[in-house]
Amino acid sequence: MKLETRNFLLRIIAGKFRGRNLKSPPSLEVRPTSDRLRETLFNVIAPRIAGVRFLDLCAGSGAVGIEAISRGASHATFVDSSRPMCALIKANLELCRIERSESDVIESEALDYLRRFVSKQPDSGKPWDVAFYDPPYANGYIPVLDIFGARSSALLTPKGLLIVEHHHKNKLPEETGSLVRYRVLKQGDSALSFYENQRG
């Protein structure tokens, strides 16, 4: 059976790339974060985005990480398990003329990438100030939350943020390890859970 396709209109909402239209995933199996929800997300974290290192897990089109760069993030890491999605992210980075020094695109399952990063510390690279996670399956949340919250992982900077997009009926823990949820925003069927790393 032929897979039905549809083009999603993705645009950068604010910052130096404001109004720029991005190439979108053609498959209905890929569900991009809506412009409206992305705007809500960045309205919340706007005071903390300038100069940060940003991690976009299960990045899809890369719209969230590119929005972060547009609004002043110094670097974004994009992780997606799909080779076509990684190619799409690279195409969108080129479309916005984002320098290679400002971004990395990694083809990997999110949890596998995080485990490799942790296992190689301190040689794996600097921790992130803000991470965004929107997995395609509902059973992927807890292992990723646990590894971010593990006191030995150092994936996030002190007071760094992990934002998780999920269905509003999907109940996530209030805390795990050093992560404490301080805010939940609901919009339609989607919700954003904001966790702060309490490790000093």
The model's pTM: 0.90
Average pLDDT, the chain: 88
Q: With helix as H, strand as E and coil as C, how does 136-196 read?
A: CCHHHHHHHHHHHHCCCCCCEEEEEEEEEEEECCCCCCCEECCEEEEEEEEECCEEEEEEE
Torsional class of 188: left (φ above 0), alpha (ψ -120 to 50), beta (otherwise): left
Q: In whole angstroms, how far apart are CA 162 and each of 7, 95, 100, 150, 156?
A: 29, 27, 24, 13, 8
Boundaries of every domain in the chain: 10-197
Looking at the chain, the whole-number percentage of residues with pLDDT higher than 90 is 68
Q: What is the mean pLDDT of residues 9-20?
A: 88
The per-residue pLDDT for range 79-134, each reduced to its tens digit, is 999 999 999 999 999 999 998 899 999 999 999 999 999 888 666 678 999 999 99
The CATH number assigned to the domain with range 10-197 reads 3.40.50.150
Omega prior to 122 cis, within 30 of 0: yes
- pLDDT (0 to 100) of residue 113: 95
Q: What is the mean pLDDT of residues 2-16?
A: 65
- pLDDT (0 to 100) of residue 2: 31
